[in-house]
């Protein structure tokens, strides 16, 4: 009888652990989806929309005021971005790139807006992965990290 009780306890403990893992995965997925929804809203209805328009037309570059307004809009929606800037001491170009990635602006558009090329952008993202996350990884790992932040 005592052995049955122990087996039941162990079985229940394993079930609870499995359910906790599933819960954590669902919560992470919810955060990711919320972040994506907010990024879509930013691209469609805030000063970020103007940045997107400029990137698509490829005829001009954003003014200082447009960058400032877009930065404020992204930071307002995602306060975590301001904390990254303060805590990790990253430069203005790196920070703008992080903001654009957080708003899920396309990589080709970021290349245009930041006046760089795809290889340099990938290298910047890998360096930010190392600096901000304290781990080596691929450029897309850093993108995933930014997307999950709220």
pLDDT confidence tier of residue 111, bands split at 50, 70 and 90:
very high
pLDDT of residue 85: 82
Least confident of 60-64, 86-90, 127-131, 139-143: 86-90
pLDDT of 86: 81
Q: What is the predicted pLDDT for the residue at 132?
A: 87
Report how far residue 146's alpha carbon sits from residue 103's, in angstroms, rounded to the nearest whole number: 9
pLDDT value of residue 70 = 95
Alpha-carbon distance of 115 to 107, in angstroms, equals: 12
The kind and range of the H/E element at 32 are: helix 2-45
Please tell me the predicted confidence (pLDDT) of residue 75.
93
- Nearest C-alpha neighbor of 70 from the set 91, 107, 45, 90: 45
Check pLDDT > 80 for residue 88: no
Q: Is residue 62 predicted with pLDDT exceeding 90?
A: yes
pLDDT grade for 2, boundaries at 50, 70 and 90:
confident
How far is it, in rounded angstroms, from Cα 1 to Cα 52? Answer: 68
Confidence of residue 142 (pLDDT cuts 50, 70, 90): very high
pLDDT one-digit tens code per residue, 10-39: 999 999 999 999 999 999 889 889 888 999
């Amino acid at each position: 009888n005592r052995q049955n009780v122990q087996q039941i306890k162990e079985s229940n403990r394993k079930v609870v652990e499995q359910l906790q893992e599933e819960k954590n995965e669902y919560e992470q997925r919810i955060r990711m989806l919320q972040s994506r929804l907010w990024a879509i809203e930013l691209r469609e209805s805030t000063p970020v929309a103007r940045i997107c328009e400029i990137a698509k037309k490829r005829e001009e570059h954003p003014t200082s005021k447009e960058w400032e307004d877009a930065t404020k809009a992204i930071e307002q929606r995602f306060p975590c971005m301001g904390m990254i800037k303060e805590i990790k001491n990253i430069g203005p170009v790196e920070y703008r790139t992080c903001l654009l990635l957080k708003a899920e602006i396309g990589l080709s558009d970021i290349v245009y807006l930041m006046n760089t090329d795809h290889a340099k952008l990938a290298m910047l993202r890998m360096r930010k992965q190392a600096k901000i996350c304290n781990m080596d990884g691929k450029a897309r790992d850093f993108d995933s990290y930014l997307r999950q932040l709220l």
